[in-house]
Amino acid sequence: MEYVNTRNKSYQEYKEIIDKETEIELEHYINKMKNKKAAMVNATSFGGGVAEMLHSYVPLAKDMGLEMDWWTMKGSDEFYHVTKSFHNCLQGQEGRLTEEAKKIYLKYNSLNAENIQEWNYDYVIIHDPQPAALIDYLDTRGKTKWIWRCHIDTSLPNEEYWDFLYQYIKKYDACIFTMRDFVKEDENLNKLNFITPSIDPLSSKNIPLKREEAQMIISRFGVDINRPIITQVSRFDPWKDPLGVIDAYRIIKKEFPSVQLVLIGSMASDDPEGWDYLYRTLRRAGEDYDIKVITNFNGVSHIEVNAFQTASDIILQKSIKEGFGLTVSEGLWKGTPVIGGNAGGIKYQIEDGISGYVVNTVEECAERAIRLLRNPMIAEEMSEAGRERVRKNFLITTGILNFLKLFDELDD
């Protein structure tokens, strides 16, 4: 395995942002965890939400005074090919798990364990299926508490893949899923825990931007900052429903002819499905120049996403199926009202009618957006409530606190 070095983070800076209760609780658990050592293990240090999250989690935990290391697996194409099928099939895709695939999976788990000289951790958190079998090769039972953290939606998994993985995860001292809906009811895993993903308020994606600064950034993309702006940030994927977003916008446009719609999505060059869906979205947008479809190829990176989330009047995340939907917390954190689809973790982040709206249809989505555009006071109240909801529940400091609480429970 490979040791990952991270940039420094200062907990002091986070203390100025988080709520007092979380700070006090953190202090308590940090003191209890002094001299304990933890390790995070996942498949890669670049690309994907898990890596992005660990780049914040690990240095922040270290600066809090915890001993935390981060290891990633060494792999090759044959291993990634197999683990990609694990990912897809655990989310419900059909397909057979061959003996050859099992062999490759176990070979790399065993090889990765071999080059570890010393493994003297009190807690090891294994992320996702790729390193799940390490427990068989590095098991130091009695000393190390093993925790498996699942980031994917395993509510309706392909049984063959799930059964294979299950023989490993049942050995873990604790398992963490994002939501209860993601675990089959009949499973009898040790210490089942539910912890949501969280956002880093000091990353370039979420760092506070002045409205004028944000407006300056977004005006480079041809958006008129003097007219209402509705934005959805998400991959071009049927489950994110960009076509439904355009349909809702068309209803809103009848009431608010000046409204503009921005659809932002990053494109992976190896994702043909994403391209197909981008073209479908462009066709649905047609000749309407108040619809801006922007991708990473137009220069949208973290700070630009931040600017659009900050300077828009409304953020949409009209997903039909969703794991968690980080874009929802990102929008709420910037004080922008969010309208989200009634799916997965979205309904958990938005308290309907308080911090935003949760909708089931295109018409409902349009109706709520019109309500917000007509009543800036409602939008303002929601923005306050939304920000507080994220501060309390969906910042990485709360994420770390939840881990510490679990460590503590495992010691009892």
Residue 321 touching ligand UDP (CB under 6 A) = no
234 counts as binding ligand UDP under rule CB under 6 A: yes
Question: In whole angstroms, what is the distance from residue 62 CA to residue 65 CA?
Answer: 5
Region 283-302 residues binding ligand UDP, contact defined as CB under 6 A: 296, 300
State yes or no: residue 400 binds ligand UDP (CB under 6 A): no
Stretch that binds ligand UDP, among 102-110, 111-119, 321-329, 393-401 (CB under 6 A): 321-329
Closer residue to ligand UDP, CB minimum distance, 327 or 397 = 327
Q: What is 326-385 written as a DSSP string?
A: HHHHHHHHTT--EEEES-TTHHHH--BTTTEEEESSHHHHHHHHHHHHH-HHHHHHHHHH
Q: Which of 135, 326, 372, 379 binds ligand UDP (CB under 6 A)?
A: 326
For ligand UDP (CB under 6 A), the number of binding residues is 17
Segment lying near ligand UDP (by CB under 6 A), choices 135-143, 231-239, 336-344, 388-396: 231-239
206-218 burial, b if ≥16 CB within 10 A, otherwise e? beebeeeebbebb
Residue 91 corresponds to which tokens in the numbers above?
């989310």
266 makes contact with ligand UDP (CB under 6 A)? yes
Phi and psi torsions of 372, nearest 5°: -70, -40
- Distance, in Å, from the CA atom of 89 to the CA atom of 380, rounded to the nearest integer, reads 42
233 contacts ligand UDP (rule: CB under 6 A) = yes
Least distance from C-beta 205 to ligand UDP, angstroms? 6
For position 324 contacting ligand UDP by CB under 6 A, the verdict is yes
138 binds ligand UDP (CB under 6 A): no
Q: Residues near 215 by Cβ (< 8 Å), separated by ≥ 6?
A: 225, 307, 311
Distance from C-alpha of 19 to C-alpha of 166, rounded to nearest angstrom: 38
Between the two ends of the chain, the Cα-to-Cα distance in Å is: 30
The residue type found at 39 is A
Segment contacting ligand UDP by CB under 6 A, of 144-152, 165-173, 324-332, 383-391: 324-332
User: Which of 109, 198, 327, 342 is in the footprint of ligand UDP by CB under 6 A?
Assistant: 327
253: Cβ contacts below 8 Å, ≥ 6 apart: 259, 290
Rg (C-alpha) for the chain, rounded Å, is 22
Antiparallel, parallel or unpaired: β 67-72 and 2-3: antiparallel
Q: Does 349 bind ligand UDP (CB under 6 A)?
A: no
Nearer to ligand UDP, 305 or 359 (CB): 305
Scan residues 6-65 and list those touching ligand UDP (CB under 6 A): 49
Cα 401 to Cα 236: distance, rounded to the nearest angstrom: 34
- Return the range that interacts with ligand UDP (CB under 6 A); candidates 62-70, 117-125, 158-166, 263-271: 263-271
CB nearer ligand UDP, residue 265 or residue 356: 265
Give the interface segment with ligand UDP, choosing from 109-117, 222-230, 258-266, 347-355 (CB under 6 A).
258-266
- Where along the sequence are the contacts to ligand UDP (CB under 6 A)? 49, 205, 233-235, 264-266, 296, 300, 305, 323-327, 330
